[in-house]
Chain A
Amino acid sequence: MRLTPDMIRLAVPFLALAVLLAGVFWLQPRAMTYSGLNLLFNLAVPIALATLAQMFIISVNDLDLSMGAFVSFVACVTATFLNDAPLVGALILLASIGAYAALGVIIHVRQLPAIVVTLGMSFVWTGLAVMILPSPGGAAPDWIRSLMTVRPPFVPMAIVASVLIALVAHLIIARSTLGVLIRGVGGNERSVARAGWSVLRARAAAYALAALFAVLAGMALVGLTTAADANIALRYTLLSIAGVILGGGEFVGGRVSAVGAVVGALTLALAGSFLSFLRLSPDWQIGAQGAILILVLALRLGLDAMERRRMRA
Chain B
Amino acid sequence: MNEQTPILSVSDARVRFGEVVALDGVSLALSAGECIGLVGHNGAGKSTLVGILNGGLVPQEGRVEVSGKAAVQTAGWDVATARALGLRCVFQELSLCPNLTVAENARLMHEGLAGGAWRARARALVSKTLDEIFPGHGIDPRATVSMLPIARRQMVEIALAFCDAGTPPGIVILDEPTSSLDAGIARQLLDHVRRFVAAGGTVILISHILSEILNTATRIVVMKDGRVVADRPAAEFTQAGLVTAMGTAGREQARRLEGKGRGEVILTHAPAVGLPFEISRGEVVGLAGLAGHGQTELLRALHGRLSPEWRAHADPKVAYVAGDRRLDGVFDLWSIRRNLTVGALPDLLRRGLVQPEAEDRAAADWKARIGIRTPDMGLPILSLSGGNQQKVLFARALLTRAPLILMDDPMRGVDVGTKQEVYEIIRAEAEKGRSFVWYSTEMEEMELCDRVLVFRDGGIVAELTGASITEEAILAASFLGAA
Q: Report if A and B touch in the complex (beta carbons < 8 A).
A: yes
Q: Which residues in A have some Cβ–Cβ distance to B below 8 Å? A: 4-6, 175, 177, 180-181, 183-184, 186-188, 190-197, 253-255
Asked whether any CB of chain A lies closer than 8 Å to the CB of B233, the reply is: no
B99 touches A181 (CB 8 A): no
B107 touches A177 (CB 8 A): yes
> Which chain A residue has the least Cβ–Cβ distance from B84?
A196
A255 touches B97 (CB 8 A): no
A181 touches B108 (CB 8 A): yes
Q: Which residues of A contact B144 (CB under 8 A)?
A: 4, 6
Complex: how many Å from CA A87 to CA B190?
64
Q: Which residues of B contact A197 (CB under 8 A)?
A: 108
Q: Which of B54, B99, B105, B118 has the most CB of A within 10 A?
A: B99
> Which chain A residue has the least Cβ–Cβ distance from B122?
A180
Q: Which of A184, A254, A255 has the most CB of B within 10 A?
A: A184
Q: Which residues in B have some Cβ–Cβ distance to A below 8 Å? A: 54, 56, 79-80, 83, 89, 91, 95-100, 104-105, 107-109, 111, 114, 118-119, 144, 147
B104 touches A196 (CB 8 A): no
Closest-CB distance, B37 to chain A (whole angstroms): 23
Assess A195 versus B99: contact at CB under 8 Å? Given A6-B144, A184-B104. Answer: no
Assess A192 versus B108: contact at CB under 8 Å? Given A177-B114, A187-B98. Answer: yes
A192 touches B107 (CB 8 A): no
Assess A187 versus B97: contact at CB under 8 Å? Given A181-B108, A195-B109. Answer: yes
Complex: how many Å from CA A195 to CA B99?
16
> Which chain A residue has the least Cβ–Cβ distance from B56?
A194
Complex: how many Å from CA A4 to CA B99?
13
Q: Which residues of B contact A254 (CB under 8 A)?
A: 97, 99-100
Closest-CB distance, B81 to chain A (whole angstroms): 9
Our pick among A5, A175, A183 for the contact of B97 (Cβ within 8 Å) is A183
Assess A4 versus B97: contact at CB under 8 Å? Given A184-B104, A196-B83. Answer: no
A253 touches B104 (CB 8 A): no
> Which chain A residue has the least Cβ–Cβ distance from B113?
A177
Q: Which residues of B contact A4 (CB under 8 A)?
A: 144, 147
Q: Which residues of B contact A180 (CB under 8 A)?
A: 100, 104, 107-108
Complex: how many Å from CA A181 to CA B108?
7
B79 touches A188 (CB 8 A): no
Complex: how many Å from CA A255 to CA B98?
9
B79 touches A192 (CB 8 A): no
Q: Which residues of A contact B109 (CB under 8 A)?
A: 195
Q: List 29 A-B contacts (CB under 8 A).
A: A4-B147, A5-B147, A180-B100, A180-B104, A180-B108, A181-B108, A184-B97, A184-B99, A184-B100, A184-B108, A187-B99, A187-B100, A188-B95, A188-B96, A191-B95, A191-B97, A192-B97, A192-B108, A194-B89, A194-B91, A194-B95, A195-B83, A195-B108, A195-B109, A196-B79, A253-B98, A254-B97, A254-B99, A255-B99
Seed contacts A180-B108, A183-B97; 14 additional CB < 8 Å A-B pairs:
A5-B147, A6-B144, A175-B119, A183-B99, A183-B104, A184-B97, A184-B104, A186-B99, A188-B98, A194-B79, A194-B91, A197-B108, A254-B99, A255-B99
Complex: how many Å from CA A6 to CA B111?
27
A190 touches B95 (CB 8 A): yes
Complex: how many Å from CA A193 to CA B108?
10
Q: Which 4 A-B pairs have the closest CB atoms?
A: A187-B97, A191-B95, A187-B99, A196-B80
> Which chain B residue has the least Cβ–Cβ distance from A192?
B108
Complex: how many Å from CA A193 to CA B96?
11
Closest-CB distance, B325 to chain A (whole angstroms): 16
Q: Which residues of B contact A255 (CB under 8 A)?
A: 99
Q: Which residues of A contact B99 (CB under 8 A)?
A: 183-184, 186-187, 253-255
Complex: how many Å from CA A298 to CA B32?
59
Closest-CB distance, A207 to chain B (whole angstroms): 19
Q: Which of B89, B98, B100 has the most CB of A within 10 A?
A: B100
Closest-CB distance, A213 to chain B (whole angstroms): 21
Assess A188 versus B97: contact at CB under 8 Å? Given A6-B144, A180-B104, A194-B89. Answer: yes
Q: Which residues of A contact B111 (CB under 8 A)?
A: 196
> Which chain A residue has the least Cβ–Cβ distance from B103?
A180
Q: Which residues of A contact B119 (CB under 8 A)?
A: 175
A191 touches B56 (CB 8 A): no
Q: Which residues of B contact A181 (CB under 8 A)?
A: 108
Complex: how many Å from CA A266 to CA B454?
52
> Which chain A residue has the least Cβ–Cβ distance from B83?
A196
Complex: how many Å from CA A190 to CA B332?
15
> Which chain A residue has the least Cβ–Cβ distance from B89?
A194
Q: Which residues of A contact B104 (CB under 8 A)?
A: 180, 183-184
> Which chain A residue has the least Cβ–Cβ distance from B119?
A175
Complex: how many Å from CA A197 to CA B96?
14
> Which chain B residue has the least Cβ–Cβ distance from A176?
B118
Closest-CB distance, B196 to chain A (whole angstroms): 21
